[in-house]
Structure 1
Amino acid sequence: MDKKEKDIQCCVTQCETPLDQSYWNTRWENSETGWDIGQASPAITEYMKQYPDRNAAILIPGCGNAYEAEYLVATGFTDITLIDIAPKAVETLKEKFSGTPQVKVLCGDFFGHEGKYDLIIEQTFFCAIPPGRRKAYAQKTASLLHENGKIIGVLFDKQFDQPFPPFGGCPCEYIPIFEPHFIINTMDGCYNSIPPRKGSEVFINLIKKQQP
């Protein structure tokens, strides 16, 4: 086992148990939401401008304040599902979208969620789960997508020397995780990240592989 594998195993050992509903709800209650950039990710909004189907079923897991959902509603999308494990976050979201029938807000664990979607939007959820669960994430997202469905969004392209979220990585680590389930259409450096994350993100566009 090389150093990188040992570091990942260390993160899994120290973090997997406490990263539960209580952990994330406490973060929200204490306003410890450093991942929140205060707006929809420019990389995601730029992609969604040209997305052809405004009636596509869209899922945003670990959605936080769901700025992306606000953008989608404002630009005519009609079928958006948000899921977050933290009751405090969900309470805020239900108030925010109380008059917005295009948005469904669910409180629950993504890994237990059932449904079928055309598109999954990834924004700071992948980096919040322990590295040991990344293969399960890839498998779960594939199971939630219709044939030829997609994941689009951003992943970190940097390492974090810490035993708690966010957990970083690089494309060389991500590709083997996703390739069993997805065609890697795009996994390139993100040219339109927000300034604090410039040079430290990759944009992904992954297409679910057809089942044999």
Structure 2
Amino acid sequence: MTKFDKQYWDLKYEKNKTGWDIGYISTPIKTYINQLTNKNLKILIPGAGNSYEAEYLHENNFNKVRVIDIAFQPLLNLKKRFPDFPEKDLINMNFFSHEDKYDLILEQTFFCALDPSLREAYVNKMYNLLNDGGKIVGLLFDFELTKQGPPFGGNIIEYIQLFYAKFEVRVLERCYNSIKPRDGRELFFIFEKK
């Protein structure tokens, strides 16, 4: 078993060792969603966990939202909390095996949970999953990248170098509305597919 396989994440949820789970949608993501006017966007939330973002989107009449997680329990948790969430949009699989096209992908603690050796593959997969002009929007941690993790950190320069070949950096800045425990350690970003 490694830190990054299905068994590892299933065990985290079974033992309720989910310190990253704040129990509600994070303020920066909620603020971004609140300004969206097109309710027909096809949206993906990878590594969704308990996916309060998906619940919030559905409550606000976004009806093309899919969540993917390698662990099964968080998908059950979402279905329990929000029975109306369509089962066909709860996808239990490895993100890197998923095939489809989306207008928007929301990033909330997925990137930081991946082994840093997968970062280039993440960028390529995001690029392939997005429609032309599609966007990845969300949060990236802003602290030193070490071998300790997850979560794994990084900084603005690393992120620009990683994404710039395939994405226009529309926004990448210190998050002004992080939750208290993450204040000063998050970057809000909007990357648009080139």
What is the TM-score with the length of structure 1 in the denominator? 0.87
CA positional deviation for 1:161: 4.8
Does the Cα contact within 8 Å between 1:184 and 1:206 map onto a contact in 2?
yes
Structure 2 residue 99 is the aligned partner of structure 1 residue 122: no
Among residues 19, 22, 25, which one is paired with 2:7 in the alignment?
A: 22
1:77-109 CA-partner distances (Å, limit 9, x unpaired): 111000000122222223333323497101000
For residue 86 of structure 1, give the secondary structure of its aligned residue in structure 2.
coil
C-alpha separation between the residues in 2 aligned to 1:141 and 1:189?
22
Q: Could you say which residue in structure 1 is the equivalent of 2:180? A: 195
C-alpha separation between the residues in 2 aligned to 1:167 and 1:205?
20
Does the Cα contact within 8 Å between 1:73 and 1:102 map onto a contact in 2?
no
C-alpha separation between the residues in 2 aligned to 1:124 and 1:103?
23
State the one-letter code of the partner of 2:193: K
Structure 2 residue 24 is the aligned partner of structure 1 residue 43: no
CA positional deviation for 1:172: 0.9
Gaps of at least 5 residues in structure 2 are none
Among residues 154, 159, 172, which one is paired with 1:169 in the alignment?
A: 154
Does the Cα contact within 8 Å between 1:80 and 1:102 map onto a contact in 2?
no
Stretch moving more, 159-168 or 37-46: 159-168
C-alpha separation between the residues in 1 aligned to 2:28 and 2:77?
25
1:101-158 CA-partner distances (Å, limit 9, x unpaired): 4971010000110111000000000000011110110110110000000000001011
Among residues 90, 97, 113, which one is paired with 1:105 in the alignment?
A: 90
For residue 43 of structure 1, give the secondary structure of its aligned residue in structure 2.
helix
Gaps of at least 5 residues in structure 1 are 1-14
What is the 5 A alignment of 1:27-176? Answer: 27-101=12-86, 104-159=89-144, 161=146, 163-176=148-161
Question: Equivalent pairs: percent with the same residue?
Answer: 46
Considering only CA atoms, is the larger Rg found in Structure 1 or Structure 2? 1
Please give the root-mean-square deviation of Cα atoms over the aligned residues, in Å: 1.7
Does the Cα contact within 8 Å between 2:50 and 2:78 map onto a contact in 1?
yes
C-alpha separation between the residues in 1 aligned to 2:86 and 2:71?
22
C-alpha separation between the residues in 2 aligned to 1:135 and 1:162?
17
Stretch moving more, 67-76 or 79-88: 67-76
C-alpha separation between the residues in 2 aligned to 1:150 and 1:165?
25
C-alpha separation between the residues in 1 aligned to 2:20 and 2:4?
15
State the one-letter code of the partner of 2:174: G
Does the Cα contact within 8 Å between 1:155 and 1:203 map onto a contact in 2?
yes
CA positional deviation for 1:37: 1.2
Does the Cα contact within 8 Å between 1:122 and 1:152 map onto a contact in 2?
yes
C-alpha separation between the residues in 2 aligned to 1:102 and 1:86?
15
